Structure 1
Amino acid sequence: MRDGDILATVDLGSNSFRLEMARLDHGQLVRLDYYKEPVRLGAGLDENGHLTSESIARSCACLKRFAERLSGLRPTVVRAVATQSLRSAKNPEAFLVPAQEALGHPIEIISGPEEARLIYLGVANDLPQDNHRRLVVDIGGGSTELIVGVNTQASHMESLRIGCVSHTLKFFPDGRVTAKAMERAVTAAAARFEEVVEQFGAHQWQLAYGSSGTIETIAELCTELGDAPELITRAGMEKIFGRIVGADSKKWGFADLKPQRAQVLAGGLAVLMGLFAALKVDKMRPCYSALRQGVMIDLLERLTEHDMSTDVRYSSIARLARRWFVDVVQAERVQTMALQFWAQVDNGDVAARDWLAWAALTHEIGMAVSHSSYHKHGDYLMRHADLAGFSFTEQAHIADLIAAQRGGLRKWQNHLGNDSFVRAVLCLRLAVIVCHARTQIDAPDLDIMVSKDGVSWTVGQAWQAHFPLSAYLLDEEWQAWLKTGLAQS
């Protein structure tokens, strides 16, 4: 990345969609534009957990407007992430297909822990490096993220399925805020947060910060009602409750409260009051950076220096490999070989190269479950692990490679129309074969080609004579590719 380059992030939250654009200026990100629309995707789930056609259409209309502003930017500098509503929806593909077409960029569904990590990354970038242990709270439309950390390093992260939209719909469905309904809503929220007191109670931190729209709004209302500026207290929230209970939202009389935020204020207030009670929080300061800034910082780190050893994803993969007792020497051997093969067929897809590298390092994680069909067990473990730095989509790509590292290829016919997948899975399968003896081996005399006509490779006669078993296995692999119709005779 160079000075003047522009990055953009799109945050598809349960309450609002946000687009932020920034320019890189001497290593700092300077905001250029910010757009926010209260789409309320979380309220678009029907009783069966499916996103309705109306909510999908509303979302796509918003994303088309965002796409107009993003036009002209390289795909690599734009990252769009979706959170709780898409995580919980029973029909995410019904949303993703038209939404990605409307936006013109891929949309990643990120896990709750990954959302928490990125939120903390955004917030920590806005706070002083004071060595204090801090609690960071982000109340979204469908989930609340809790993080404890020091400076830029998070130590505990959690995502709970409770948010301002979901809590409002559950306890204030008709928009009326009664004392009884609020008492029930606060009690329910406190019970939810009591489950994580050990990790996030007051004994774990010194300062409390909050991010995103709900907490920003409550902080502004506390100040308007006489609290200290930029501070949320229990007394301040009690004053807000006293103003809204039993009254129509149009008569609350807050100076700058927007109608869209007023619709979910009661639920968000109940969530925060319950959190204060359960975690023994006395005061909280708002922070005006959140998920979208964290996503942008993470994107910048990926683009600035493509060095896996400094990538948070490398640490995640390494931890996963250790957890499942992977033979690291063999994994690195296969990775080195796979990347040497990739250099012969490189099509410029950096993401596919990375997925190949991660898959090679974890291709044997399934052996911790059973040697039989270990590639299938590895597929499952990769697909369902909590991995910092990865979206569900990225994990699925890596899991597909792990599953396809051995066995027949015809079951992957739908994936073989993807040029990058073909190149990556070919390199991984060949690397696993060449390194099957689990001893150090130099790169073989193997020339690989991948084109629109298919795949092919040639093996030097001398190498085949020296490694007859490997040559036999490579011939079997050739037969597997012949059955797909991709091998060039």
Structure 2
Amino acid sequence: MTHFAVIDLGSNSVRMSVWSVKDDGQPVAESKVKEMVRLSEDMGAEMTLKEPAISRTIDALLRFKDTYSKLDDLTIKAYATAATRQAKNQKKFLKRVRDEVGLQIEVIPGVREAELDYVGVINTLNVQSGLIMDTGGASTELVLIQNRQMEHRISIPFGSVNLTEHFVQHDPITPGDLFRLWSSVSNVFNGIWWLREAQNLPIIALGGSNRTLAKIQRRKHHFRNFEDIHGFRMLSRNVNSVFAEVVDADVEARRAMPGLARDRADIIVAGLVPVVTMLRFIDADKIIFSQNGLREGALYEYLQGKQQAAAPDEVADETLSDFTADE
């Protein structure tokens, strides 16, 4: 029996999933851990990772090491996404991680993140067509699936943390702040020509902010395990209702809201604007939630071989290297 672990170092949280792999190739989930580190916090216009965020991240990685260092025959992959790939002091940060944790982190482009999301979703959800939307702390990945094939993908450099820092100046958010936030997100979507092909398709939602919608809804209806959201479907009218409650509340009220993690309360409004905007933009009638994305995609690539699990070569890479918010 072997072990496989994936660390996903995002802009808001760092997560690790560990599987044991039986001799017949079947994976068995052993553990999932998450820590909120806010790596992208206060990066500012100079786009540098700040010392408090770096220290929080290294401390979390050292705690992860306590777990994976005890595993026999281990293959470990560590991926860093938006905050690290945007950081001007990326090399210095990665060197500190190597020196202090002994971990080699691969910084992946947004389109690679989108590809892993696709592999994780397509191997664990029975969906034929839809728009994968993974809203993180500092980036949002979109993948158009048609007949279970990836047709288009793009990474947009905005997410719950940097949208909050740029637009949310008041608590609760004011109509003016909300309008400016919604307008900037809408303008970016307007520039993605292939989204017209996603009209009326469901959104397949990943990312902590998006998943919060499902957790709040499931708590409302007293689901026994409200966090078990994989495959859960939510109609657009219910999404809008939950979003309205979140927007109306201030931070303290959100911290007490069932299903909403306390450490996400200050960034959840901006974190939900992209998916709520997209619902209207493509006239989707529902969201299908996925708990599986990048880490599970890495697992399936490991199990099946990259050439077999990854998307077709002819799919063109697309990314937005810069995002200038409208004032």
Structure 1 and Structure 2 fold alike (TM over 0.5): yes
Q: Which runs of 5+ in 2 are unaligned?
A: 224-228, 319-327
Let me know the Cα RMSD of the aligned residues: 2.9
| Structure having the higher Rg | 1
How many Å apart are 1:20 and its aligned residue? 0.5
How many Å apart are 1:193 and its aligned residue? 1.3
Whether the aligned pair in 2 keeps the contact of 1:66 and 1:103 (CA below 8 Å) is no
How many Å apart are 1:293 and its aligned residue? 1.0
Letter in 1 for 2:244: G
Aligned match of 1:115: 113
How many Å apart are 1:245 and its aligned residue? 3.5
Aligned match of 1:239: 241
Give secondary structure in 2 for the equivalent of 1:43.
coil
Aligned match of 2:324: none
Could you tell me the TM-score, scaled by structure 2's length? 0.84
Aligned match of 1:34: 32
Cα distance in 2 between the residues matched to 1:312 and 1:266:
33
Aligned match of 1:250: 252
Cα distance in 1 between the residues matched to 2:21 and 2:74:
15
Cα distance in 1 between the residues matched to 2:176 and 2:235:
22
Q: Which residue among 16, 25, 45 is the counterpart of 1:47?
A: 45
Aligned match of 2:15: 18
Whether the aligned pair in 2 keeps the contact of 1:22 and 1:33 (CA below 8 Å) is yes
Aligned match of 1:445: none
Greater fraction of residues in strand = 2
Cα distance in 1 between the residues matched to 2:304 and 2:111:
19
Q: Which residue among 196, 212, 220 is the counterpart of 2:215?
A: 220
Letter in 1 for 2:233: L
Please say if 1:135 is aligned against 2:137: no
Q: Which runs of 5+ in 1 are unaligned?
A: 303-307, 321-384, 388-489
Cα distance in 1 between the residues matched to 2:172 and 2:118:
34
Q: Which residue among 292, 295, 298 is the counterpart of 1:295?
A: 298
Please say if 1:65 is aligned against 2:67: no
Cα–Cα, structure 1 residues 184 and 69, in superposed 2: closer, same or farther, change >3 Å? same
Aligned match of 2:164: 168
Cα distance in 2 between the residues matched to 1:297 and 1:188:
36
Cα distance in 1 between the residues matched to 2:49 and 2:95:
13
Greater fraction of residues in helix = 1
Q: Which has the higher contact order (CA 8 A, sep 6+)?
A: 2
Letter in 1 for 2:100: A
Aligned match of 2:195: 200
Could you tell me the TM-score, scaled by structure 1's length? 0.58
Cα distance in 2 between the residues matched to 1:280 and 1:213:
23
Letter in 2 for 1:20: S
Q: Which residue among 260, 280, 284 is the counterpart of 2:263?
A: 260
Count of matched residue pairs: 309
Whether the aligned pair in 2 keeps the contact of 1:100 and 1:106 (CA below 8 Å) is yes
Give secondary structure in 2 for the equivalent of 1:77.
strand
How many Å apart are 1:174 and its aligned residue? 4.9
How many Å apart are 1:76 and its aligned residue? 6.4
Aligned match of 2:99: 101
Letter in 1 for 2:3: I
Cα distance in 2 between the residues matched to 1:233 and 1:268:
19
Whether the aligned pair in 2 keeps the contact of 1:186 and 1:273 (CA below 8 Å) is no
Cα distance in 2 between the residues matched to 1:286 and 1:246:
24
Cα distance in 1 between the residues matched to 2:170 and 2:45:
17
